[in-house]
Structure 1
Amino acid sequence: MHHGLVHVITPGDHFSPRTGSAIPTVVDGLSRATPAGARRPAVLVARGTYPDRYDSADVIEYDRARTHRFDRYVDAGLPRLRLPRVMARHEFAAAVTQQDDWDPAVVLAHNAVQAIPLVDARRHTPVLYAHNLLLRTYGRREIARTLGPAAAIVCVSQALADQTSRYLTPSLRGRVRVVLNGVDAAAFARPAAARRGDLLRVVYVGRMIPDKGADVLIEAVRLLGRSDLHLTLVGGRGFAANDALSPYELDVRRRLAQLGDHATAVSFVPRAEVVRLLQQADVVVVPSVWQEPFALTVLEGMAAGAAVVGSDIGGIPEALGDAGVRVPPGDAAALADVLAAFADDQGLLERTQARCRAHAEANDWRAARSRLGAVLGAIV
């Protein structure tokens, strides 16, 4: 096989456009932006996952290792005995079982710390691709042993790189690189420029969990009490439309109901419907209250032509750049002030939307792939 890049995703995860979950989206985006003349990348995908897969990379299927629900508890205790996390490695070993058949490749292990020592570093180049803070349960010695073979540790934002570096030994710290995520600006582009109607259409898209801060956005809209604003919340706690509502989701629905006709809740919807909803938005809000590593929705909202407001926390400011508007995390009053300014000033709204769209176009997946190429060019 002739693959310059081989992507390792979590065993049991999918490589499908159904959900829009972060890692498959990133892998697809980077793969779609493969430079002309470069080898087509591959993705390791377990058999039995969603059969409708992205067409941007070759899929190498493998049979998943058998697992038990107590495996993670076993793994949690093994480092105390200075032993590797054998259960996680067992799963990833199944994923890379065919690596002797590959031509030499860069193996990008997405959030897959335990895959790094399983890659034959004499033949391939292992790279950890961190989308989240992964090392909180690791000691320094375990980190040094496990990540020692990694040629680089790629983080999706400088904020995540700074957090990750605090856990690393000095030698590993020097291998940390930042590759900001991108967006498919063409796929999200609004079909035709549309001026705002009588309502300011505010949209939230994301998982419905406390960290994402949808309750903060609801409170901001409640504080405004305006009749010329409509809020739409899109998403559930998971990636299935028929999941039972969690206590947090029930609370969000209760609060939303108090806004009457000026608010709508939409549970999980297919990816194509998410694109349409973003394209209809005047403003997209990313109100996270945790150290979000990047937040793909920022760039997706911008690409769809919306003005984007995001919390000033984690990697969100890096995604916003100078185009979007930052607000303190958890500050409903500050968020309400921004929404009021957009509702009252059509010119401000349109100027912000134009800046956001230009920012998305300048930070599409080709730009992200170019940044990754620069990192890989220095280590291969």
Structure 2
Amino acid sequence: MHVLVLPSWFPTDFSAAGAYFYEQLNALQDAGCTVGVVYPEHHSLRRLTTAALATHRFQTRWHVEHGIPVLRRHSWNVRSRLNGTFAARIRDAEQLAQRYAAAYGVPDIVHAMSAQWAGPATARIASIWNRPMALTEHFSGFMRNTLLPEQRARLPKAFSHAHAVAAVSPTLRDTLIRQEWCTAPIRLIPNPVDCSFFTRPARRPTAPPLCLATIGRLVPEKGIDLLLHAFRRVVLEQMGLRDANVALHIAGTGPEHETLRTLASNLDIDQYVTFHGHLSRAAVRDLLHRSHLFVLPSRHETFGIAVAEAVATGCPVLATRCGGPEHILTPSTGHLVASHSVPALATGLRTMVPTLHQYDTAVLRDSACNRFGVVTFTERTMALYREALASFS
């Protein structure tokens, strides 16, 4: 089966957002699919520099990324958030798709990864080619009610045209149904975990020091500020552990990097907190191997792939009820607390730290790999394609 994928976001020279899509596309390749990607990059003018313009000057280029042919248009979003932003990306996507078809042939199915703008683009391309369309929704903006007016005007066409629809978490699926974006049945296809890579360490680390870790983009919805406040309450105030042998490791980059470093200093916990910045995949695994507890303090999360990866390494997780982790965690793999709440996170830390030795690393790993392994993802996605083909025919 030949599948062309249009992702609403994808890794670029300026952002690693959507890196998990590579693993998904490689899994489909391993299952026998021919997979390609077209992606019109429209970067914010805030990133514009002389060096950036030298490599991103509205040109179209082929790339081979993780063994996948990717056709990109390297351009800039001159409209910012004004009306017409998504219309421009849709036009670019259509042009890229035609160039892709000229090189590789018209695919059997066109798959939108999130309707955000790729949904309307995929609907248009599928109509031109007379091919079935699949849509997998990843975007937390539906749950956060942050869709732009242009998206609200264009997305109904995407959902109505799709021949098969999936969501990455039950919370997102229920939101799409409740908001009446989709009247057809919605499959559940969580993001996969590469359990051949995210393995258990030879043995779990011993404390001290007690190592806590969180991984994610440094943006407000990830709630790192809440975690820093909760960490202070537990370590410095309520437990009186000013000289405690404890460390909080924060991995990731984003616009809040300096703000969060300043917050850690103002809270007088900077000596306990390490900001690692961007980490390679191998370094992420190493950090999970060295950690006693993974914490996800997000305000909103459609799935939470970092939670599933942590569980696959045998690391227990404390997470907020923010949309995705509720579907991942069980009492044997971690603990859930309310989102948007410093007291809830602090209580969660105080609850979990004394009981970390009770978690069975083999049980954690089996839970992640059985429910979110690559094989499960591939089977569910191929079923989505079969549904789309049947509905189309």
TM-score range, shorter chain: 0.7 to 0.9
Residue 186 of structure 1 aligns to a residue whose secondary structure is: coil
Report the CA distance between 1:58 and its aligned residue: 2.8
Report the CA distance between 1:62 and its aligned residue: 4.7
Report the CA distance between 1:376 and its aligned residue: 2.1
- 1:168 aligned to 2:174? no
For residue 135 of structure 2, what is the amino acid of its counterpart? L
Structure 1 pair 137/321, CA: closer, same or farther in 2 (3 Å)? farther
- 1:128 aligned to 2:138? no
Of 303-312 and 101-110, more deviation after overlay is shown by: 101-110
- 1:313 aligned to 2:322? yes
Report the CA distance between 1:142 and its aligned residue: 4.3
In 2: Cα distance, 1:176 partner to 1:117 partner: 17
Summarize deviations over 1:199-247 as a string: whole Å, max 9, x none.
Answer: 2210011111221111222222212223142211112216xxxxx945x
Determine if contact 1:105/1:124 at 8 Å carries over to the other structure.
yes
Determine if contact 1:154/1:176 at 8 Å carries over to the other structure.
yes
Determine if contact 2:168/2:191 at 8 Å carries over to the other structure.
yes
Summarize deviations over 1:64-96 as a string: whole Å, max 9, x none.
Answer: 5x55511641327xxxxxxxx532321221331
1:283 to 270, 293, 312: 293
Report the CA distance between 1:274 and its aligned residue: 2.0
Q: Give the equivalent residue in structure 2 for 1:329.
A: 339
Structure 1 pair 184/146, CA: closer, same or farther in 2 (3 Å)? closer
In 1: Cα distance, 2:369 partner to 2:351 partner: 25
In 2: Cα distance, 1:151 partner to 1:134 partner: 22
- 1:297 aligned to 2:306? yes
Report the CA distance between 1:37 and its aligned residue: 6.1
Q: How does 1:41-190 map to 2 (within 5 A)?
A: 41-45=35-39, 54-55=65-66, 57-64=67-74, 68-70=77-79, 72-75=81-84, 86-98=87-99, 100-101=101-102, 102-111=105-114, 112-121=118-127, 123-133=130-140, 136-137=147-148, 142-168=154-180, 172-190=182-200
Query: What RMSD in Å do the two structures reach over aligned CA positions?
Result: 3.2
Report the CA distance between 1:53 and its aligned residue: 5.8
Q: Give the equivalent residue in structure 2 for 1:241.
A: none
Q: Give the equivalent residue in structure 1 for 2:246.
A: 229
Structure 1 pair 236/24, CA: closer, same or farther in 2 (3 Å)? closer
Report the CA distance between 1:149 and its aligned residue: 2.2
Summarize deviations over 1:96-139 as a string: whole Å, max 9, x none.
Answer: 12354424422111121221232234542212221104663358
Of 203-212 and 108-117, more deviation after overlay is shown by: 108-117
In 2: Cα distance, 1:134 partner to 1:335 partner: 24
Unaligned runs of 5+ in 1: 77-84, 239-243
- 1:34 aligned to 2:25? no
For residue 90 of structure 1, what is the amino acid of its counterpart? R
Structure 1 pair 286/149, CA: closer, same or farther in 2 (3 Å)? same
Structure 1 pair 116/147, CA: closer, same or farther in 2 (3 Å)? farther
Count of matched residue positions in the alignment of Structure 1 and Structure 2: 352
Structure 1 pair 330/124, CA: closer, same or farther in 2 (3 Å)? same
Q: Identical aligned pairs, as a percentage?
A: 20
Q: Give the equivalent residue in structure 2 for 1:81.
A: none
For residue 160 of structure 1, what is the amino acid of its counterpart? L
Report the CA distance between 1:187 and its aligned residue: 0.9
Residue 187 of structure 1 aligns to a residue whose secondary structure is: coil
For residue 177 of structure 1, what is the amino acid of its counterpart? R
Unaligned runs of 5+ in 2: 42-54, 236-240
Determine if contact 2:303/2:323 at 8 Å carries over to the other structure.
yes
In 2: Cα distance, 1:306 partner to 1:346 partner: 9
Determine if contact 2:304/2:325 at 8 Å carries over to the other structure.
yes
- 1:215 aligned to 2:218? no
Structure 1 pair 223/330, CA: closer, same or farther in 2 (3 Å)? same
1:24 to 10, 19, 28: 19
Structure 1 pair 335/146, CA: closer, same or farther in 2 (3 Å)? closer
In terms of fraction of residues, the more strand-rich structure is 2
- 1:254 aligned to 2:265? yes
In 1: Cα distance, 2:98 partner to 2:210 partner: 53
Q: Give the equivalent residue in structure 2 for 1:5.
A: 3
Report the CA distance between 1:46 and its aligned residue: 5.9
Determine if contact 1:288/1:311 at 8 Å carries over to the other structure.
yes
